[in-house]
Chain A
C-alpha cells in the first residue's frame, strides 16, 4: 500500500466499510432470503443471489441488508423464490426471480417500498401449515 493522505484514508474507509458491515448482524432491518434448495439452484437461484449482492452493493446498501439462503420453500414450480423481510412492510415471497427481477426488487421493494405485484406469491398452503 502506498502512503496515504487524509483523503485516501477516508476514501479507503468508505470503500471497505460496506463489506465489513456484512459481518455484523446487529441493527439490520432488511433480510433477503433466497430459496436455495435443489429446485431453486436448478432454476438459477445462484445467479439470483449474485444479482442481489451486486445490486445492493451498487446502491451502497451491502452493509445494511442480510442476504440469507434457505432450503426449498415448497413452491418449486415458481423457483427461484425469494422472501423479503423488512420493517413496516409485509413479508413478501416473490417467485421466478431472475437477475433482472432481483435488481427490480432492490430498486422498488427495498428502496422505494413498492411491491412488484406481478411476482408476488402467497405462502405455500397457509391453511395446512398450522402452527
Chain B
C-alpha cells in the first residue's frame, strides 16, 4: 500500500442497524469504510465491523440469506480485527435465548440471555436499557486493564451509550474486558477473544470517548499496514 492509502474497514450490511453512524465514526478517525454485504469486500478489508440492532434470530436469518455465516466465521479465526457492536457482540456468541433458542456464529463460547427488568432500590427499571452507562473494570486493583485493547486510553467509569434488552455471558470470564451495572444486574459489556473485540454499547454514538475506540482501531490498522 502507498503512503497515502488508508486502512479499509468493511461494515457488514445485513439490513439492520445504524450502519451509517458506524461509517461516519470510521471516517472521522481517518479510516476508509465501506458498507457492504459482499463476501469479496469483507474478506479483502483490513478489518470487519459487525454492527446491528434488532432481533438475534432475524439477524442470523439475514446473514444466512446473504450467505455470510461462513465468511464471518472465516474472519473470526483470522488475524484481521473483527469488531462486534451491540447485536454484533451477541451474534459472535455460541447461542442465544432471545425468544426461543438460536445458534449464533459460535466464535466466542457463551450465550445471550434476556435482561429481565432489573431492580434499583424500590423501582423496576425499563427494558430495553436505553441510556448512558459506565464501563467498569471487571476486577479491582488491575492497573491499566484496557491497555493494548480497543478501550485503551479510556478510564474505569467511562460513559457509553447503550440500547439493548439482552446481554452476553461468555463461558470464559477472562475474556471479559468490561462490565456494566444496570440496577441489580452486572453484565459483560465488552469482551476480547483472539482477533475479536466486541461491546454491547455503541461507541459510534458515545461522543469523544466512544470515538476513542475507533481511534484505537485506526491506530492498530495503520501500524499493521
Is chain B found bound to chain A in the same assembly? no
Interface residues of B (CB under 8 A from A): none
